[in-house]
Amino acid sequence: MVISVLSPDKEIFTGEIQSVKVPGITGQFEILQNHAPIVSALTEGSVRIRKASGEDLTFKIHKGFIEVLSNEVSLLVQGVEE
């Protein structure tokens, strides 16, 4: 699965991942390999990306959107705090 994480200022991360956990409007949810297509708004909270190597990348966001389609994840976020 591949992810691109973008903020208005910069590209935060792009690469192969095992999973990503995000703060959805109605609660946290996790995206794994072969997840059904989805588009969702995100609220303030923590994003955890588990890279293909098993290493975790965690950061906080103020808001954003996630789109998943054919094992490609696009994460557009604002207010990133690493």
| Predicted confidence (pLDDT) per residue in 13-31, tens digit | 999 999 999 999 999 999 9
Integer CA distances (angstroms), 66 to 20, 22, 27, 53, 63, in order = 10, 8, 14, 22, 10
**Model confidence band, residue 70 (pLDDT cutoffs 50, 70, 90):** very high
The ranges assigned to domains in the chain are 2-78
CATH value of 2-78 in 1.10.150.240, 3.30.70.270, 1.10.645.10, 2.60.15.10: 2.60.15.10
Reported as half-sphere exposure (CB side, CA atoms, 13 A), residue 7 has a value of: 14
**In whole angstroms, what is the distance from residue 72 CA to residue 75 CA?**
10
- The model's pTM: 0.93
| Predicted confidence (pLDDT) per residue in 29-38, tens digit | 999 999 999 9
